[in-house]
Amino acid sequence: MNTRAPAVQARQLVKTYPGDVTALNGLDVTVEPGTVFGLLGPNGAGKSTTVKILTTLARADSGSATVAGHDVLRHPDRVRRAIGVVAQNSGADPVATGRENLELQGRLYGVRGRTLTARVDELLERFALTEAARRQVKGYSGGMRRRLDLALGLVHRPDVLFLDEPTTGLDPEARTAMWDEIARLAGHEGLTILLTTHYLEEADRLADRIAIVDRGRVVVEGTPDGLKGELRGDAVHVELRETLGDSGRALLQGALGTVPGVHEVLFDGRRVSVRADDGAACVPALLGALERAGAGVASATVARPSLDDVYLRYAGRRYSEAEAPGADALVLAGGAR
């Protein structure tokens, strides 16, 4: 196989579920071999549907996709041999032991005999499950189960590994441990990883490249630093005492836009996000402008750009609000192109 060919390529994927729910609306994704690619977005953005299509579980209504060079529709069996999948509910058999789960998984890929035993031993050790290997999975902690899920996805040494929300539901400690595991995998044997997450921090920490998915399409793609770098300067977040009407917003937009060093003013409920060359330096001028405009300020913070800011900029909503169903945010982009 040509190593320069993308490990995953999806073009214009569309998927509608019964009841006219559009899960994907023309999604494009390209993942280079040997990299970690993060699909980032709130629940319901279409990340899991994308993974289901790429792992041959679901069929797209239209569009095409190849994984490890094989077309998911024409050669699903070749795709299945080349991929490992760790789904949100990976479904290890609770009554079977960790070792039995791994052995069965290996057998389904045609790994047998001594090769299988050696591979299972290796994985058990690598994921610190050797001691628990002979115990039934129902007695495992959440973190242990997740590590077993990862091992299940790796038994047959796949070329491409899909991780669908790998740390959802884990406590912070287990999450950090999982991040370390994934980071270690990433540098390994040219494995390509496509991971979905709704944690900004997770994508920032693990992924070489990120695509932000919103309402079934990719709204922006790039490296975490590149995306943050596109937002010039610092973010100043001001929390107002009350939500403004349209006219109040327009008024503030004008007032704040004239403060020296300010590029961009975004409104989002009671929050005003200002992008400025030197955030700390322009805070006094900003607060002055707000006071003159008669807007009461509850708090003001200065921050380096985060993926949350990237999300607000490209998806038009603040990340936490996209997570909450029915949330609505209005954006008046001053300096934005």
How far is the C-alpha of 324 from the C-alpha of 320, rounded, in Å? 7
Q: Which two tokens stand for residue 65?
A: 């996709």
Least Å distance, CB 107 to another protein, is 6
Least Å distance, CB 281 to another protein, is 52
Least Å distance, CB 138 to another protein, is 10
Residue (133 or 255) nearer to another protein, CB: 133
147 φ/ψ angles, rounded to the nearest 5 degrees? -65, -40
> Hey, which residues between 74 and 133 contact another protein (CB under 8 A)?
77, 80-81, 83, 85, 87-96, 100, 104-105, 107-110
Query: Do 88 and 198 meet the contact criterion of CB atoms below 8 Å apart?
Result: no
Least Å distance, CB 77 to another protein, is 6
How far is the C-alpha of 12 from the C-alpha of 69, rounded, in Å? 17
> Hey, which residues between 18 and 57 contact another protein (CB under 8 A)?
18, 52, 55-57
How far is the C-alpha of 16 from the C-alpha of 14, rounded, in Å? 7
Residue (15 or 317) nearer to another protein, CB: 15
Q: Report residue 47 CA to chain centroid gap.
A: 8
Strands 262-268 and 297-303: unpaired
How far is the C-alpha of 319 from the C-alpha of 317, rounded, in Å? 6
Least Å distance, CB 87 to another protein, is 5
Could you give the maximum distance between any two Cα atoms of the chain, in Å?
Answer: 78
Q: Return the ∠ at Cα 32 (arms to 29 and 38), rounded to 5°.
A: 55
Least Å distance, CB 84 to another protein, is 9
Site string for another protein, 172-211 (x = CB under 8 A): ----------------------------------------
Question: How many residues of this chain bind another protein (CB under 8 A)?
Answer: 31
Under the rule (CB under 8 A), what is the footprint of another protein?
18, 52, 55-59, 77, 80-81, 83, 85, 87-96, 100, 104-105, 107-110, 136, 152
